[in-house]
Structure 1
Amino acid sequence: MSVLLAAAIVFGVSAAVAGWFILKGSTARSSGTLMLLGGVATLGGCAAVQLELDGAAAVLFRAAGCLAIPAALALFPRPRWSEPLGFVLITVVVSAGVIATTWASAVESMGFVIVPALLLGVWWGLERGDQDERRALTWSSLVWITCGLVATLIGFVRESAESAEAFDIASLAVFLASLGPPAMVIGVLRPELVDVRGLVTRAVVAATVLFTFLAVAIGLISVIEDLRGQPLQAAPVAVLCAVLAFGVRPLQVTLRGVVDQLLFGDRPDALTAASSLADRIGDDPVLALAAIREALVLPYASLRVGDETLATSGSEVTHTRALPLRLGNDLLGEVVVGLRPGDLGLSAADEDVLRIVAPLLAQTLRARALASDLKESRGAAITAIEEERRRLRRDIHDGLGPTLSGVAFSADAARNQIRSAPERAEELLLGLRADTAGAILEIRRLVEGLRPPALDELGLFGAVRQHAAALLTDGGAPLQVDISTPDDLPTVSAAVEVAAYRIVIEALTNVARHADATRASVSFTCGDENLLLEVRDDGHSIGAWTSGVGVKSMRERAEGVGGSLTAGPGTNGGRVRATLPL
């Protein structure tokens, strides 16, 4: 099998498969149908060559290369029959293709008609099409034109080297053309895969640099050969090309800047952008994002925490890059920026600017989170206060209210009967005394619910010792409690003192009721910022604890004052450990 035939088979398979995907997966059905027919015709021509049907093979190859494939390109991504220029161009391509297919001698001349018509059609589509059509056309034209330029360049170099082989050039051209149909599939099905404008920019820069290098090199070699009157040897040519190669990178950078400025406008200086951003980023994330977009000339920016977008600026684009925002080891979120048209990624200068301002954005997120936490804690505090007021109102109304009303009625009844029925009056006074004692107990219960009196009388450590001394196990035996305390307890808030007392008392009560223990230990440790308390027992704790009302209550008390609590089985029994801020 010849190389050219193998190349034709590869192109036929590529065109047929691409046509099938375009036909089934997009609205460009007419183009997909013609591409599929072009691939099938190419494969049919290859089969005819193998069967030595040279006449049929030639017709099939011309039908594919001059009619079906060009018509598919002319109708891609949608036919423009309703537009005068579009109608004329499609008619020209189809007519020239029919002529070239019918008369083999007209192939070359019709090629000079078909190619300009297709290029004009691409220009017209880019001018008049919507965003999706322009992206599809850009993908298609980029690959087809690049393949044509590469084949032309290689052919030119081989001719300059006086070793041209038309057979090899034709095979290479067909192989390269196999890349065109897949590009059309990407253009209509996955145009967002990569920002094709960036590929166009790089292709334009690369092609310009390459042709400039070749033109300068060939021009200098020709001038030197004319002056010397004889051809240069390989070594001087290699040295000259090596010297010229030093100018490739500067030329590439310059051209990229020129293309960027022509297509996308001026780009900011990194140091200037960073300096301006440092002065403008404040507590408002929306204003901070707007400052970033303005300084770096970006189309879009957003701040995200997890799956939640906190703030956005600009219009969202397909291609974005994300930069994490950290303070120390804490990941607070990320800033997502949209790439400029024509960029495949952020430049090193842009990334440096974002890294400089990332801590400022992280501080903005931290401030926002702290403000949200403060708002929630205020709401929780107000809710707790209102709930406590509601509880007190209910207890007083349902408990003290009826008792005191009864006291008042009994006093009236005793006064009425003190002369007429002294004995009855005495009974009423005895009941009045009992009711009054009950009211006093109820008041004490309410007061102790607000704050245990033992804390004011004995202090935290003394109150804990008093309660521990009265604890009994389920068997009725006293629970031995060892209490370890620091020499001096720093000044703590009333809320922390109550929370520490309630947590220790609840933990010891759970030990006495559920742990099957004979001994428990309570330790208090004071650090620079926290009060650490720990309750251990020698009971039989196996497996993780089920968080009941008691454990939940202890954890809520610790978290209510900004602390934390862990509870579960230890190495030799159960353990409750709480950290409360001083």
Structure 2
Amino acid sequence: MSAALVASAALGLVTTGSGWVVRKSGRARSSAVALVAGGLLLLLASGLALLGSDAAAGRIFLVAGCLALPLAVLSYPRLSWRDPLSFVVLVVLVGGGAISAAWPVAIYPLGFVVVGALLVHAWWAFEQGTSDDRRALTWSTLGWIGAGLAVTFLGFLGESAGTGVMTDVGPVFVVALAVGPVAMAIGVVRPEVVDVRGLVTQAVVATTVFLAYLSAAIGLASAIEVVGGTPLRATPLVVLCGLLAFGVRPLQVLLRGVVDQLLFGDRPDPLQAATSVADRIGDDPSLALAAVREALVLPYASLRAGGETLASSGTEVTHTRVLPLRLGDDEVGEVVVGLRAGDLSLDAGDADVLRIVAPLLAQTLRAQAMSRDLQKSREAVVTAVEEERRRLRRDLHDGLGPTLSGVAFATDAARNQLHADPARADELLVQLRADTTRAITEIRRLVEGLRPPALDQLGLVGALRQHASTLHSAAGTPLPVTLVAPAELPPLPAASEVAAYRIVVEALTNVVRHSCATSASVELGVRDGALVLAVRDDGTSDSDWTPGVGISSMRERSLQVGGSLSAAATSAGGVVEATIPLGRAG
């Protein structure tokens, strides 16, 4: 079995498989049918050639290569023949393919016509197609043009070496053509596997550099031969090629810069871009991202934290790169940037700029998080105030209101009975006094709910001592409470004083209700401009505390005044610690 037949059979298998994959994707059905038909024809022709039927095999090879495969390319990713240009191309392709298959002598001139028609149609379909169609067409065009360039280059080598096209390098020709069907399958199944525009850019640059190098080498060698009258020997030719190789890298950089400028405009200078971004980043993440995108000419940028996108700018693209944002040892989030069309990776200069501005973006992210926390704290305060107002309204309406109304009615009734029935009037006055006493008690209860009177009478330490003296353990015996405090506390804002009192009272109440403690202690102190308090007991616990209403209430009270609270069970007993800013006393 010759290498050419093996290569043809391999091409048939690849083409059939690619057509089947395209068919399963649900797109480009007409192209899939043509691919499968072309692959099966190649397999049939290979089999016939193996059996010795060279004439029939050659005819089937021509039908597959001149008609089936071009039809697959023409109908990819969708068959459109109603517009005039597509119809003309279809007629040219079918006619040229049929003539080439029937009259092999015409295959070379008609081949150029068919290839030109396919290129024109690819351009037209790209202009008229959707974004998905354009991506698929880019894959297909890149695959087939790449295969064509490989075949052309191998043909040039074969001609230079004096070999026959289908004897030495012919099998490689056939294998190179397999790139086309594979690219078509990728274009409809996984076009996002890599940014195909980046591959196009790399291919254009590499091809241009290669052709320029080859042309320069051949041109210089020919010129030296013409001037010297004799061909260059091997050693001078190698030296010449080596000298020309020094220009390959600069030419690549130059061409990449030209392509970048044509596609994306001028690339920014990294230092200028970093300076521009640093000057424009503020507390608004959206503005910061817009500054990053504008400075680096990026299509997309976003800030994420905890898997949630906090802010974004631009249009999201398929290919992105992620850079972590750190403040010290803490990772506060990450910045996601979209690659420019045609880029396969993040440019080194762009990466340097992002590393420079990453701390500023991290600060922006932290500022936004603090702003959210502040907003939540404000909402909690407003909610607490509204709840307290609702409670007061309910207590006044349902408790004190009816009592005072009863007092008013009893007063009227007593006046009416004062002369006619003094005894009845006396009873009404006794009831009136009882109702008045209840109203006073209710008012005192409401006032104490707003602010314990003991704070105004005894101060924070005295009020806590008074409350501690009334506590009893679960067994009914008095609970010893040790209170340690400075001789004199600095002036406290009213809100901080009430919060500290309520936290200690709630913590001691939890000791009485939920622990088997035989004693407790309360420590008050001032540290770093804040009131620090701790409530400890000697009760033991087999498991960690589950935050309930009491702990949640204490934590909310501390947060409302800008403080913090922690509560936990330890091996020595329960501990509740709170820090309350002193602020400015009124």
Q: Taking structure 1 as the reference length, what is the TM-score of the superposition?
A: 0.88
Task: Sort the Cα spacing of 1:455 and 1:168 in 2 relative to 1 into closer, same or farther, 3 A.
Answer: farther
Out of 419-428 and 100-109, give the one that drifted further. 419-428
How far is 1:203 from its partner? Answer: 0.7
Kept in 2: contact 1:26–1:189 (CA 8 A): no
Separation in 2 of the partners of 1:232 and 1:491?
100
Matches within 5 A, 1:76-95: 76-95=76-95
Asked whether the 8 Å contact 2:482–2:520 carries over to 1, the reply is: yes
Output the CA distance in 2 between the equivalents of 1:20 and 1:284. Answer: 51
Between 196-205 and 358-367, report the one with greater CA deviation.
Answer: 358-367
Comparing 295-304 with 550-559, greater Cα deviation is found at 295-304
Count of equivalent residues: 582
Residue 151 of structure 2 corresponds to 151
The answer for the alignment partner of 2:120 in structure 1 is 120
Distance 2:72 2:6 in 1: 23
Residues 1:314 and 1:553: Cα distance change in structure 2 (over 3 Å): closer
Q: 1:49 aligns to what?
A: 49
Matches within 5 A, 1:356-371: 356-371=356-371
Pick which of 204-213 and 538-547 moved more.
538-547
Say if 2:512 is the partner of 1:538: no
1:7 aligns with 2:15: no
3-state SS of paired residue (1:167): coil
After the TM superposition, which residues 293-312 of structure 1 pair with which residues of structure 2 at under 5 Å, given as runs?
293-304=293-304, 309=309, 311-312=311-312
Once residues 477 and 184 of structure 1 are traced to their aligned partners in structure 2, the CA distance between those partners, rounded to angstroms, is 87
Map of 1:439 onto structure 2:
439
Change in 2 beyond 3 A, CA 1:457/1:89: same
- Report the counterpart of residue 504 of structure 2 in structure 1: 504
Aligned to 1:245: 245
Residues 219 and 486 from structure 1, CA distance in 2 versus in 1: closer, same or farther, beyond 3 angstroms? Answer: farther
- The alpha-carbon distance between structure 1 residues 45 and 486, as it changes in their structure 2 partners (threshold 3 A), is farther
Instruction: Please give the per-residue CA displacement for 1:188-246, whole angstroms capped at 9, x wherever unaligned.
Output: 33333333222111111111111112222233334445555555554444443333222
Structure 1's 45 and 579: CA in aligned 2 closer, same or farther, altered over 3 A?
farther
Report the counterpart of residue 23 of structure 2 in structure 1: 23
Q: Does 1:140 align with 2:140?
A: yes
| 1:502 aligned partner, one-letter code | R
Q: How does 1:295-444 map to 2 (within 5 A)?
A: 295-304=295-304, 309=309, 311-329=311-329, 331-407=331-407, 431-444=431-444
Taking the aligned partners of 2:573 and 2:368, their CA distance within structure 1 comes to 43
Verify the 8 A CA contact 1:136 1:188 in the aligned structure 2: yes
Q: Which amino acid aligns with 1:343?
A: D
What CA deviation, in whole Å up to 9, does each residue of 1:469-520 have, x standing for no partner? Answer: 2211121122232334456544443222222222222122122122122122
CA distance in 2, matches of 1:418, 1:71: 116
Q: Judge which range, 428-437 or 379-388, deviates more.
A: 428-437
Structure 2 SS opposite 1:516: coil
Identify if the C-alpha distance between structure 1 residues 483 and 148 changes in structure 2 by more than 3 Å, giving closer, same or farther: same
Q: Which amino acid aligns with 2:81?
A: W
Distance 1:216 1:416 in 2: 126
Match of 2:269 in 1: 269
Post-superposition offset of 1:255 = 0.7
Give me the whole-angstrom Cα distance separating, in 1, the residues matched to 2:94 and 2:416. 122
Q: Which residue is 1:217 aligned to?
A: 217
Asked if 1:259 is matched to 2:251, the reply is: no
SS at match of 2:543: coil
Q: Does 1:558 align with 2:558?
A: yes
Could you tell me how far apart the structure 2 residues matched to 1:420 and 1:293 are?
Answer: 93
Identity of aligned residues (%): 61
TM-aligned CA distance change 1:540 to 1:158, over 3 Å: same
1:407 shift after superposition = 4.7
**1:202 to 2:192 alignment:** no
With over 3 angstroms needed to count, the CA separation of the structure-2 counterparts of 1:248 and 1:486, relative to structure 1, is farther
Q: Residues 497 and 119 of structure 1: is their aligned pair in 2 closer, same or farther, counting only changes over 3 Å?
A: same
The answer for the alignment partner of 1:65 in structure 2 is: 65
Q: Which residue of 2 aligns with 1:479?
A: 479
Q: Name the structure 2 match of 1:527.
A: 527
Instruction: State how 1:561-572 maps to structure 2 within 5 Å.
Output: 561-572=561-572
Q: Secondary structure at the match of 1:536?
A: strand
Q: Which moved more, 1:536-545 or 1:332-341?
A: 332-341
Corresponding residue SS for 1:442:
helix
Letter in 2 for 1:296: L
CA shift, 1:368, in A, is 4.3
Q: Say whether the 8 Å CA contact 1:75–1:90 is kept in structure 2.
A: no
How many angstroms apart in 1 are the aligned matches of 2:160 and 2:491?
93
Q: Give the corresponding residue for 1:170.
A: 170
CA deviations 1:135-175 (Å, max 9, x no partner) are 22221111111122123224434544567774331111211
Distance verdict in 2 for CA 1:524–1:155, change over 3 Å: farther
Per the alignment, do residues 397 and 265 of structure 1 end up closer, same or farther by CA in structure 2, a change over 3 Å counting? closer
1:24-39 matches, within 5 Å, as: 24-39=24-39
Relative to structure 1, the CA distance from residue 442 to residue 263 in structure 2 (aligned partners, 3 Å threshold; closer, same or farther) is closer
In structure 1, stretches of 5+ residues that fail to align are none
Code of the aligned partner of 1:61: F
Task: Report the CA distance shift for 1:47/1:524 in structure 2 as closer, same or farther (over 3 A).
Answer: farther
**What is the letter of the counterpart of residue 515 of structure 1?**
S
Deviation at 1:247, TM superposition (A): 1.7
TM-aligned CA deviation for residue 38 of structure 1: 0.6
The equivalent of 1:453 in structure 2 is: 453
In 2 relative to 1, CA 443–2 (structure 1 residues): closer, same or farther, beyond 3 Å?
same
Deviations 1:550-582 (A, max 9, x none): 223222222322333333432233333333334
Distance 2:520 2:5 in 1: 91
Provide the rounded CA distance (Å) in 1 between the counterparts of 2:226 and 2:392. 110
Mapped to 2, the partners of 1:64 and 1:487 lie a distance apart of 102
Q: Distance in 2 between matches of 1:388 and 1:131?
A: 58
- Structure 2 distance, partners of 1:120, 1:436, is 101
CA distance in 1, matches of 2:159, 2:538: 95
Shift of 1:19: 1.0
Moved more, 60-69 or 484-493: 484-493
Offset of 1:185 from its aligned partner? 1.5
Mean Cα deviation higher: 17-26 or 157-166: 157-166
Residue by residue, what CA displacement relative to the aligned partner does 1:523-552 show, whole Å, maximum 9, x if unpaired? 345431544433333324222334332223
Q: Distance in 2 between matches of 1:78 and 1:204?
A: 26
Distance 1:399 1:131, change over 3 A: closer
What are the Cα deviations for residues 12-53 of structure 1, in whole angstroms up to 9, with x where unaligned?
Answer: 111101111222324422211111001111112222233333
Instruction: Report deviation, 1:333.
Output: 4.7
SS in structure 2 at match of 1:454:
helix
Letter in 2 for 1:151: V
Alpha-carbon distance, 1:358 to partner: 4.1
* Matched residue SS, 1:390: helix
Root mean square deviation, CA, Å: 3.3
Name the aligned partner's letter for residue 500 of structure 2.
A
Q: For residue 574 of structure 1, give the secondary structure of its aligned residue in structure 2.
A: strand
8 Å contact from structure 2 (residues 325, 359) kept in 1:
yes
- Paired with 2:35 and 2:379, the residues of 1 have a C-alpha distance of 67
| Counterpart amino acid of residue 257 in structure 2 | G
